[in-house]
C-alpha cells in the first residue's frame, strides 16, 4: 500500500488544510505530520524550496500545494474531469496563491510598519482578490467555483476566507469579506456544511 506523509503547520488552515480534507474524503490513510513554527525553522534549510507543505509518497518528497490539491483531489473525486471546469478550479486555487504571496510580505513586520502595510493591502490586493473570488463564484453559478459541485477550489478558497474573517490578521477588519462579498461568506458556510467537510472535522 502506498504510504503518504503530509508535513505542514499544526493548525486547521493554510495551504495544508484542503489536502488533509481531501485525503480524508478519499478514505486514504496518511501520516498527518503537524509541525510547530520552531520545527519548521529547523527543517527549512533542508526542505526543497524552503517551504511546506511537503507530501512524501513512499518516501519521495513533493512540494507545491496546488499540485498536491490536484493529485489528492483526483483521488477524492474533488477535481473536475472536464478540462474547462478543471481550468476554473485551477484559476481559483492559483488566485489564492497570489493573495497569499501578497499577505506573506507583511509577516515579520511590527508596529506602525505592519499597520501601514496591512492597511495598504486591505485597500489594495485583499479587496481586489475578494472581489475577484466573488466574480469567479458568480461565473461558476453562485454556489461552487467549478463543476457545479464541491471541488478543491472550494476547499482552498473557503479556508482562506475563514482565515480573513477570524480576526487573526492584525489590521485586516474581520468583517471585510462580509462587507465586500456576502456571496463568499455564504459560500464558506455552504462548504463547511458539505458532508465530506463535516466528516473531516468530526473525525
Q: Is 13 in the site for ligand GSH (CB under 6 A)?
A: no
b/e burial code for range 62-86 (CB count within 10 A of at least 16 → b): eebbbebbbbbbbebebbbeeeebb
Looking at the Cβ atoms of 44 and 131, the one nearer to ligand GSH is: 44
Q: Does 97 bind ligand GSH (CB under 6 A)?
A: yes
Residue 116 to residues 61, 113, 119, 171, 175, Cα–Cα distance (Å): 38, 5, 5, 9, 19
Q: Does 14 bind ligand GSH (CB under 6 A)?
A: yes
- 8 Å CB contact between 35 and 9: yes
Contacts of 120 (CB under 8 A, 6+ apart): none
Contact status: 151 vs ligand GSH (CB under 6 A): no
Shortest spacing between CB 44 and ligand GSH, in angstroms: 6
Which of 21-29, 43-51, 132-140, 169-177 is the region at the interface with ligand GSH (rule: CB under 6 A)? 43-51
The 55-94 site mask, x for binding ligand GSH (CB under 6 A), equals --------xxxx----------------------------
Q: Is the preceding peptide bond at 116 cis, omega within 30 degrees of 0?
A: no
Question: C-beta of 112: minimal distance to ligand GSH in Å?
Answer: 23
Q: Which three cell numbers stand for residue 60?
A: 519521495
Q: Which residue is nearest to ligand GSH (CB)?
A: 51
Using CB under 6 A as the binding rule, whether residue 51 contacts ligand GSH is answered as: yes
Amino acid at each position: 500500500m502506498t504510504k503518504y506523509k503530509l508535513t505542514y503547520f499544526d493548525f486547521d488552515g493554510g495551504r495544508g488544510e484542503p489536502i488533509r480534507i481531501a485525503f480524508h474524503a478519499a478514505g486514504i490513510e496518511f501520516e498527518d505530520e503537524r509541525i510547530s513554527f520552531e520545527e519548521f525553522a529547523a527543517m527549512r534549510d533542508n526542505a526543497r524550496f524552503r517551504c511546506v507543505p511537503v507530501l512524501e509518497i513512499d518516501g519521495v518528497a513533493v512540494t507545491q500545494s496546488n499540485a498536491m490539491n490536484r493529485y489528492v483531489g483526483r483521488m477524492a473525486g474533488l477535481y473536475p474531469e472536464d478540462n474547462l471546469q478543471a481550468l476554473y478550479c485551477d484559476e481559483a486555487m492559483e488566485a489564492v496563491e497570489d493573495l497569499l504571496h501578497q499577505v506573506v510580505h507583511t509577516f515579520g513586520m511590527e508596529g506602525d510598519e505592519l499597520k501601514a502595510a496591512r492597511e495598504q493591502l486591505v485597500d489594495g490586493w485583499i479587496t481586489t482578490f475578494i472581489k475577484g473570488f466573488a466574480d469567479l463564484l458568480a461565473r461558476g453559478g453562485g454556489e461552487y467555483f467549478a463543476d457545479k459541485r464541491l471541488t478543491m477550489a472550494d476547499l482552498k478558497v473557503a479556508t482562506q476566507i475563514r482565515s480573513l474573517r477570524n480576526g487573526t490578521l492584525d489590521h485586516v477588519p474581520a468583517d471585510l469579506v462580509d462587507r465586500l462579498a456576502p456571496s463568499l461568506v455564504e459560500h464558506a458556510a455552504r462548504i463547511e456544511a458539505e458532508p465530506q467537510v463535516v466528516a473531516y472535522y468530526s473525525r
